[in-house]
Chains A and B, each alone.
Chain A
Amino acid sequence: MRQPTASRRRVLQGGLATAATVGLMAHTRPAFAYPTRNFNVTIPTGQGGGAERLARAFDGPWSAMLGRPFEYEFFPGAGGQVGYELFVNRRPADGHHLLFGNMGPEMIMYALQRPNYTFPDDYIYFCRLDIDDSCVFVRADSPIQSIEQLVDMAKQRRLNIGTSRIPHPASIGLLALGDATGAQFNLVPYGGGNPTYIGTINGEVEASVLPITGVISQGERFRILGIFNPNQSVFGAYTDAPLVNDVFGTNLPDLASSRSWAIHTRWADENPEHFAMLEDTSRRVFDDAAFAQAFEQTGAPVEALAYGDRELCTNYALAMIELTERYRDVLSAGN
């Protein structure tokens, strides 16, 4: 559902006035001002989720720089496909329509389902906000104390492991771990982070895999057993959980999720000055203490925040497509 803000009417009126002025001055062909109206953001997941909280924390300082507020629409469904299809095919490429998505799981979904839009021809990610390592965790009072113990148990019997979706970097991490160690994991998808927490708390699954910042924000309710990161995790202050590769000597790839702003490629290419302004202002938000503070208020660790530009985002997204191809068989319903 669209969610306008209180200032919408004023903006519309402003928009009419702008249009009239532009009409009068058309013969002089001045450079168009940008932005001329509110930003409309498509979020391809449900409201109340991690994406919304992060986007709202970010939009305070950003909208102050841009001089226009953000309005949100939520289109969950089909692992993000609904939101993306809608954004690419039905939202005008006018620089005022943005998408805020989770590149990891959504690129995996893109690679699996092969929808009728193309990355990066139709849309590009241009501002990564965070790096959210995938992790394995159990509830605080679980008898499973370590990742080694979990793997040992899974070598004896197939363990039920909760996850938000099967096409997700965290799920791929666990399947890759199983491949490397001979452990057997049965992934149980809950359709979102919140239901996965419930399934873990009520003991329906022995452990779960999810991005780490949400798990940390749940406080002492969970114990993190291991982190999927090939190099060095920034979350050492919150958990003494080891890196999975360090424990098992494996070579599992980077399985972090990263949220990012996206925009229509066509608009970015046709309006390089405006796009540069959008890139520049979004990067400067990271220098604003208000952003980190708002993010921290959600209970998530600020260490997760990390800017990434268009090139970095594109490389990350293409790497996710490649990763998906390696695990296509276990991630897809098609025979």
Chain B
Amino acid sequence: MGAVGERLRRKNDPRLLVGHGRYVDDITVPHVVHASFVRSPLAHAEILGIDTEDARRARGVVAVFAGDEVANAMPLLPTAAADESPPRRPLTGDRVRYVGEAVAMVLAETAAQAEHAAALVAVDYEPLPVVLGPWKALAGDAPLVHPERGTNKIGEIHKVIGDPDGAFAAADHVVKRRHAVQRISASPLEPRGTLAVPEPATGELTVWMACQSPHTIRTWLSDILSIDESKLRVIAPDVGGGFGSKLNLYSDELAVMWGALQLGRPVKWTETRTENFTAAVHARDQIHHVEMALRADGKILGLRSHFVGDLGAYFHFFTPVVPDLTIDTLTGNYDIPSVDIKLEKVFTNTMSIEALRGSGRAEATFVLERMIEESAREIGMDPLEMRLLNLVSPEQLPYETPFELTYDSGDYPAMLSRAAELIGYEAIKGSQRNLREKGIYRGVGVATYNLLCGFSPSGHDWNPMKFFPGHETALIRVDPHGKTVVYSGLSPHGQGSDTVVAQLVADELQIPFDDIAVKHGDTETIPYGGGTHGSRGAVVGGHAALIAAQRVVAKAKDVAGAMLEASSEDVVYEGGSFRVAGSREPALAWQEVAEEAHFLKHSGPMFEPGLEATAFYDPPSVNFAFGATAAHVEVDVETGVVSIIEFVSVDDCGVALNPGIVDGQLHGGIAQGVGQALYEQVSHDEDGQVVSASFGSYLLPSAVEMPKLTMERFVTPSATPLGVRGVGESGTLATPAAIVNAVVDALEPFGVRVEQTPLRPNVLWELIHPEPTE
């Protein structure tokens, strides 16, 4: 029996569960100094002066870096769309543009001393007018985040495909709505951390960093710090979640490395939770004005959206392309022939927007699925029925979307029907009237998704960065005992990709799962890879491991052929033993071949010694995973509290290499979707203060808030060798819309119009009980 397809436990769980994980903060080196940052308390201000004298004199302080001169001596950070990007430096010396921007770095012998001294740095600010809110940022008289640009507008994309004007002219109904997707924070359990260890004698620099893509970081650092990549080593040790927020190189992280090089001493920095809320990237934050053109029977003829993306104050790695992804996925699983989508992107005095699990696509799914719901209700059609009428049917596949994405296979209507069946759609609808008479308001909502994932090939224009590989790698090295190490370019930080890779390789090499170790996250040992993000683990990294394993087997056949005095083409490998085709004897075990490959005792120099192979895999195209969700909710109309009675997720990720891991990925994604619908929000006050900078205000769903989940899988193998599709981000896409649609259904008698999330109790109550107008 093979390992693939089995619900095997994740290799790392026992170690992590007993507290033996080693995160950046757990790593100690001699002579280390600790960093603490002075961060801007204002969203927009000119820096008139920085007094570091008291801090320099404080106990244990080794150095304080601050001021225009120091900042300008520091290297620029890499950004997406470098031509359009305002310069971003490790410290800012003249101006602050968001709350939390690093102004000074204090290095001291202990972390407590560094933090104490940082509180002694006095910064003289001249406050400037603050610009918040994307539409306000576009106004002619808006204060400018980057005055030298002359505008807060970053760019405009306008895609008109098909005949939208004709569609709207011919429509029997046009439904217009506003949909806002609020700003959220990734909130990883482990905040960010960096430990930079320079070796002045050789010019080498080793960096431990809570990151998702160590090779990318290494290449950028080489450019930035003018250190050969051969002298740079980036290690992602155990990393406690990233969700996209650790895909960047941040200003504070680079400051720590730069400081270590200045001092010639190791420097360590561990982000506090409070810092993480302001100094780690945010996500989402789009406002759409949408119009849907419908025929009388509910057929969608066209879709218009004019939307704006609030990108914050600077570009990080993917900042400007996140909303671009929203455009290209705005028709989802539906056959909508004509579209007119206009996107404006703006700078504001806030932290940057970046990739976060489902980035761009989650916004699109929410807006589309809310819009269909609203359209169906407005024209008096059942929302489920309208979806079934408009979904791309299996007969239409392969289907090219208006945005030239080609959906390969699947059965979207069947999945939606199944989700509706599992939640008990008809029964819930049928009991609503009686329950409402008793004051019980329950509703059902559905939503579908199509996850564009496994971003590739490398050169495609989704990739705005000069150094950011789309490929993935694996090096498989078999030792003389036949045990095997896979060095994977993936950099899993909670996903379990290491376990999945071991399963794949175990089956291909026909050896036990437990004989395989998977290493990752260290540029000194791992071949050049892209890391973990964008639901690419199995889709890209899995195939790299598969190909490398196939190469190892081919090499092993060469060795076996030499031992069996046969041509390697005549050697078959099955059931874990090598034999000459057609003959029964003699057979060689894997371990015998592995030993011979290294010591050549029996076969002489008929092959190159060793048993290992490397593969680099750049997929020819992106991948798609899809599904349907349904939510059954109850709303307490007296308090506005939403309880999710049950949540159904029907997902197709192709072949599930490890069903337990697939379930876990979906659970986590759904949890984040629940958070987007009901709990999470980065909020600013009118001065740009992040008022949600603690878990007392930024509400994360916990186990208590998780609904009862009913999961079912469809399996439509993709056209890839493994038949896999992505899954890491899937749960985030349709979950929020299904929940909000269910709430709207529950509150039908009140006719509430939901335009923004999260639907916290007070927000929903105000919609149910609007203030009486005079």
The finding on whether chains A and B are genuine partners in a shared complex, rather than unrelated, reads no
Which residues of B approach A to under 8 Å, CB–CB? none
